[in-house]
Structure 1
């Protein structure tokens, strides 16, 4: 090895040592080992610099050079130390990635690891010191001794290396799982089961229906119940039982807690992604489908489609012999979401042993969806309620705790009053908290409400207790309850405390004005609780939300104005006047430091819509400030993280943002004060080429779209994802906006955008009336272009039978080629929808037309009784087989490389 190679090895070690020193200097809350490491690393660094200088000044002919070369041989002292530093760096930076902005570097090393690091430093330091003294004989012997030491201790060193690599893999797996789904249902499970009174719910576990669900393949258990009956606790008990009994088995256990506050976030893709995440967490060997999706989407900032998540989940299911899925509160999902979700779960049962349990209130369409399933009504049994009340005695006044007779009376009276509702038992217990004498307790117990109206009476009693508090506590309780009730998503305690600390006309938060989260709970008379694991503050029950929605305007007037003005005041803070952040690091640091910023930026407009006239001045101030671009960045960036994601979003004008929100009055005021020509502002494109009119049409804001047109917006302006406003309205099915645009002479055949034209957009969305109107207005039924190729393909791919019939009646060419699927029949066969598209396939069939089945590929026509051979990869073939089985009117059997279709119908191919 020449001197240059030795120098290069030293330089490599110096570079890594410099990074290690920087980490040691910046790390927070480290043990005293950090200081010792820093001293030794610094000393070694100086010695290596000295040695490098000696090499550059010396002569290669000297015997000393021969000895020094041995330091840099493969797997020699320098190489060993370099490898160790590389592994340390990976651990310091969480697998090679930079730390999250705003988070301090933390000490990640155990005491044994520090001992190993110091030992390596000491050995190399000794060698370098000898080398600097230019004693080649002593250096040669020292290197030989060090080599023998490494050989002897190789297993220990390798074990340390393996540990660090395992940590790297774990960090990488965590990032991938967080990328596919940010949900944390295990935290919710921990919060819920923590409140279980020991022994409650045993009746459920002992039920024969539960035994069948646990033990029979592909069973479905539907557990319905009245509001407040304890369905969520029963779901948690079922999950806890599964987790305990299957702890060491190969069975999959996943669960979802639906939430009325998170309906937009809990769409079908998100729910399936959460299920996928939990299954892979239970078997990291099944990570490959998520890795594949990450490779495809992460760098582009896109998110996996529903079909991609469905396919990945199907692949992961093959790693489990059986899977139990528990879904709580299905009724709190949107109607379309729950229909699709149930269809997907039933699809999984076709190829795997998937047993799912669902809890929900009595809702007709949900009841219909579970006809034929195992059914078990959830009701608070007397024994469970009594155990629950007994477990709450410690919270009650001293007069009850000191009297066994009074305790027995409390239990019996509350059990008699609740009529199967756990939530009512909790409210009745809270009603006793301020009763200080036995007489007051007895009077209260004699008045406990019963029957259908009992919940409302209990809630009214709680509000009376709030009204009876000191003025400051009463005002705080009303603010807390209005925030939680009207918030568009669940709030953390940090967020609501920050919001409550915002003061009008201030430009920053006074730390002395931030309330304590425990006080927020105590002043709300038992109507508010905090989930410990997730730090979410919420109403005690879904029925509490419904109650406040009924009485909110009377009990909490001006709440929407208060919330909207709080959001806007916060957004106008001086910290945000600098505008958007220029890097991911700065962006994440800003969100970490300002905990209410995410909610305020994403939801100010929704709250402003309810009080637009009153909030207009403050809204205009915000829209004209530097804070506007700060909020726009937070609102627009993708939740999927990749390098540069924080800069990948459309830069917009205030008018674009108001168009998205539908704030017509504020938009008109913005136009009236514009410094540029009005037509220029009206037709301005954002960085993704969308105009305010297109955005308003896409979101169905008719009043705002009409205002824009009356002021001079161009009705057929081209550009953006949808091409024009008519295509945007058609895609969303917004008939009112659609008709208004037609009245303004929008061109029905205008081309461009993702869908190619308005007819294809409406066909893809299944908006039958819009399709008919476009055809009546002479829209060209066979125009080619866009993602699907033509309108018939778009309707076929999405499974919209009536639209397919309408298009065919108007002369759509069933054999037209092109687009993403090739033709309409392939599009119908490829789609994965909530209902089998046999009717679409039959509608498309014409005499003499060969039937092709497959996902974008043609399957050769075969005589009845012969095999259909698919020459594809195993995954592709399996997907095509499920497609065949799904859309065929006949049974399908599966063999290793073929999918055989028994002969029944000579027309079936």
Structure 2
């Protein structure tokens, strides 16, 4: 709930009420417990008053919480009823308050009166009545709280699962298994090799097959078989479906997290270590590493005697970032800890067998019986002439079984090729010419494209625009997004809803080459071999596709709707300086192609930006000189990093220029041409006073930095505008690069002879590049210290910098690098008047303390600005709860160093 009042607060009220009422309700023992030690009268009245305040706070904010109308009404009613009872209790307490006015103790006479009240029904009936009401109200409140707590737990559970990963393999499993023809894939389940693997001996089974052999359908069958036959509390079956079109999403972290997500879906409650990790990372805005997710997964698997993992199409994982190798390595490591039976499917790639460490291997190909069942199952898709002649149906089945040679995808393509044959002769002729052999897939795709060409012009054009849009897209397009992309009208500035095509017509026009992804509800090509085919022959089928897509993207971004520029919404009514993304979310909802166009317009326009007089070039110029539309796009691409660019300050409608946006995308050709055409200055300022060079340095775009840094019209030491943003944004390009750990960018910037390496050192609230590197990135620190103008621990108006901050943050590696520099003042005093040793000791950084104590010039008896010694700092830190071991060890190190120094003297 808002204002810090939630289910936890209601539980606190419930517990406090129970405590107070319990004390008052019970006879003489409660009298002793309630009265205060000093004044002899219970503090219960004060507690009741405090309880009133908490109840009022909850009542005031319950309507603002995440509750349904009925929950809000019920809880408000209960709060009022409880409050009424408390009022009666407080009246009674006031009535008997005089009992406790004897000071300093309550004498025997008062105790006798209290006993009379406790045991005389007539004397206490007015007191017990409200207590009974309170108990009844509390019981009802407890029930409501339990429901609210359950709802709250469910909300957090869903949020946690979504946080782990957006991958949703159960949806894919349902779809893939539903596509299986009844009775197929049974041959694998009967093989001795499969039975051996399934016996639970912790082995790895690698199923390899040619493209289109039906490996994915086979994997879905195995998964269903395991879940059906091995169902039980001690057995866990999990799976992943790898996909070449989702390589940017299917990282090792997400893939391992998907297994953890499947595990937690069946967990009664979220384990505390998982919940703590979720809260820690969401609060800090970070993501766990693959190793961190692996550790969480391991902690949830201890109760299982057997674990089965099925990984489909591991060959489709990215090779560029060692994704497949990392995933398989983690799965192999899992087998060392638990009894894990791992099954993977793949094409024939020898390296995968090596990565799986000598697995059992099976060749996968659709059996003739599976192909036969598949064809028979789709017979109703053919013309009536086939359905009326049983012998013709048999001919279709036999011909396709013979032609496909175990390739189930090819069987489907052959069936698609027969759907427009309306006479027995046409069917027979098509069967005689079915493609066979190694080139069969390419030939089948070519034939499919010919069928598309032979459609009516409207359907043919729709299909080609759809296929080219999907083929050349840089990520999957949602159904809504693709429909909008197809509906773009060139030279129109307003989107017309009446130009939208029905998705069923789109799928029909594509002749079976496109389907809807079950996980993302996005449109995609039917198989990765389809993508391969269009990569080879796309220029033949779609000669102008790349240019048309670029024109479409820019036309969409130029719609009048986005002429409002950057939009902000107040998250809280009294805080207009804090932005939310409500209006941006509304834009993205109403214009579902907007996010894609905003993120990828530069990549689609690449190669067309050298000439601003052609079709794409004219649109580029029109878009980039329109600061309002540029800022609309910038707000979307910066969505997750808005705070890093503009903090809490409310920018104008046009906080950035087209030059800044081009720089953000590292589009150097476009940047060069914009400067050459005189459309922008190389040192153009955004609302926060930052130049394109500063944006490029912030992002680590070395190509853009290299293009800008040696231009005479670029000032390398420009600093952000303090009036526009928070003080920490007052950094030069070098400081931004150092802060974000961009080593290559730092090296490029240091090539400038006029670079100010100490920028920000004498400004309140800012840190120098060297200090920023010292507390964050050791690799950058080493590069900076090679520069002739750097002083490792220079004194500024704010006092000591690099060594102090590295020590205070526990960066042992940076401290060692600085100490090895040789010209560091280890006893320097910060603005706060504290030495590096005192800062490290206070925080219990053992390794840093050891490094500093090992320096010959360290003064273990040094005093800060107020005369306090390192020993005092260490002693106070060691006694401060919860007394972590590090602080205790630091204290011993300081004491030992002082003794050693005394003995030496």
Q: TM-score range by the shorter chain?
A: 0.5 to 0.7
Distance 1:302 1:403, change over 3 A: same
Q: Is 1:722 the counterpart of 2:729 in the alignment?
A: no
Contact 2:773 2:781 in 1 (8 A): no
**1:56-455 alignment runs, 5 A limit:** 92=67, 162-335=146-319, 336-455=322-441
State the match for 1:611 in structure 2. 608
Q: Name the structure, 1 or 2, with higher relative contact order (CA <8 Å, separation 6+).
A: 1
State the match for 1:572 in structure 2. 558
Q: In terms of mean alpha carbon deviation, does 743-752 or 650-659 score higher?
A: 743-752
Deviation at 1:88, TM superposition (A): 8.9
Deviation at 1:752, TM superposition (A): 3.6
Q: Is 1:709 the counterpart of 2:717 in the alignment?
A: no
Deviation at 1:709, TM superposition (A): 3.0
Q: Is 1:490 the counterpart of 2:476 in the alignment?
A: yes
Give SS of 2:240's match: strand
Contact 1:298 1:641 in 2 (8 A): no
Contact 1:493 1:535 in 2 (8 A): yes
Q: Is 1:670 the counterpart of 2:674 in the alignment?
A: yes
State the match for 2:33 in structure 1. none
Deviation at 1:778, TM superposition (A): 11
State the match for 2:821 in structure 1. none
Distance 2:184 2:169 in 1: 22
Structure 1 spans left out of the alignment, 5+ residues = 1-11, 17-72, 94-106, 132-140, 732-737, 765-770, 795-816, 827-872, 877-909
Deviation at 1:505, TM superposition (A): 2.5
Contact 2:624 2:659 in 1 (8 A): no
Deviation at 1:448, TM superposition (A): 0.6
Deviation at 1:688, TM superposition (A): 11
What is the TM-score with the length of structure 1 in the denominator? Answer: 0.65
Structure 1 residue aligned with 2:454, among 462, 468, 484? 468
Query: CA offsets, 1:421-468, max 9 Å, x none?
Result: 111001000000000001110110011111100001100100110111
Give SS of 2:620's match: helix
Distance 1:446 1:460 in 2: 17
Q: Is 1:588 the counterpart of 2:585 in the alignment?
A: yes
Distance 1:217 1:640 in 2: 52
Contact 1:267 1:337 in 2 (8 A): yes
Give SS of 1:408's match: helix
The higher radius of gyration belongs to: 2
Distance 1:349 1:656, change over 3 A: farther
Deviation at 1:387, TM superposition (A): 0.8
Distance 1:539 1:203 in 2: 29
Distance 1:504 1:80, change over 3 A: same
Deviation at 1:823, TM superposition (A): 8.1
Distance 1:656 1:641, change over 3 A: closer
Deviation at 1:197, TM superposition (A): 0.9
Structure 2 residue aligned with 1:507, among 493, 500, 514? 493
Contact 2:494 2:560 in 1 (8 A): yes
Distance 1:275 1:672 in 2: 52
Deviation at 1:629, TM superposition (A): 2.2
Q: Is 1:539 the counterpart of 2:525 in the alignment?
A: yes
Distance 1:690 1:209, change over 3 A: farther
Distance 2:754 2:213 in 1: 54
Give SS of 1:487's match: coil
Contact 2:215 2:364 in 1 (8 A): yes
Structure 1 residue aligned with 2:629, among 627, 630, 653? 627
Query: CA offsets, 1:688-727, max 9 Å, x none?
Result: 997255368x34537x833663464467974355329995
Contact 1:499 1:566 in 2 (8 A): yes
Structure 2 residue aligned with 1:556, among 542, 551, 562? 542
Q: In terms of mean alpha carbon deviation, does 746-755 or 721-730 score higher?
A: 746-755
Distance 1:448 1:720 in 2: 65
Deviation at 1:292, TM superposition (A): 1.6
Deviation at 1:745, TM superposition (A): 7.5
Deviation at 1:641, TM superposition (A): 13
Query: CA offsets, 1:39-77, max 9 Å, x none?
Result: xxxxxxxxxxxxxxxxxxxxxxxxxxxxxxxxxx99x99
Q: In terms of mean alpha carbon deviation, does 485-494 or 742-751 score higher?
A: 742-751
What is the TM-score with the length of structure 2 in the denominator? Answer: 0.65
Structure 2 spans left out of the alignment, 5+ residues = 10-47, 89-124, 569-579, 718-731, 759-768, 794-801, 818-839, 851-881, 886-905
State the match for 2:464 in structure 1. 478
Distance 1:153 1:684 in 2: 57
Give SS of 1:611's match: coil
Q: In terms of mean alpha carbon deviation, does 453-462 or 157-166 score higher?
A: 157-166
How many pairs does the alignment contain? 687
Q: In terms of mean alpha carbon deviation, does 782-791 or 715-724 score higher?
A: 782-791
